[in-house]
Structures are given as C-alpha cells and as structure tokens.
Amino acid sequence: MLRFVLLCLIILCLIQNVDSLEIKGTYHTWLITLPLPIDIVKHMLPVGVSLDTPTGFGLPLGTHPIILELGRELNCGPVIFKFLQTNFMEAKFDIPFVQIENNPGIFNLKQVVYVDSVQ
C-alpha cells in the first residue's frame, strides 16, 4: 500500500507545475549563540572542515560561536499535498563560520538536527 501511495505522489509531482512542488511552513525559533573554546569546537568538526575566524562579533579571545536553534515548524510540507503538512518541534546544533575543503566560501555546519515525532 505504501508503495502505491508513493508512486501516486511521484506521478502527481511529475505532472504538476514545478512551482507547486514548493515546501512551505511557519517556523518559530529561538537562537542562542554561545562562545566555546576554539579547541573544543575544533574537535566537533568532521575531517575536511576547519574554522574560519569571525570578526566584529565581540567574542572573547580564543572562542568560536556555536548556535543552538530551538524551534517549532507549523503546517510544514508540500504546497500541493496539504494532507502531508505537519507540525513538529526541532533542535539544531550549528557551527557557523566554517570552511569546507575544496569549496570556496564560508558555511554554517548543521552538526546535529533532532526532530520530534510528527504530530
């Protein structure tokens, strides 16, 4: 039964306008920025990722920011399939200002994402 439903969803997606495949929702969030010692943050990084040095943020010397993001998604899901839209809580642990090997630019690394059961 699940395969049939997935097949129907795929077919509907293929015959619809690309714009209708958008995912929308409302996100209420709290962002908490914490300066941690650089050595601790470096140990959290995967291979090939290094810290950039953020400036102008008033961080104590020898620290790097991490971000705790706590939020609730409301009516989140595909616009065309409203019955798939859900509400859920999530928690994210981010390490901003990182450089990824062989990729130009500065990135925000989502180290951990926790999502509660769909309600």
pLDDT of residue 40: 96
- CB distance 30 to 71 below 8 Å: yes
Cα separation of 76 and 114, whole Å?
16
pLDDT of residue 102: 92
pTM of the model: 0.69
Cα separation of 33 and 43, whole Å?
18
pLDDT along the chain (119 residues), means of 10: 69 58 86 94 94 85 93 86 85 93 91 74
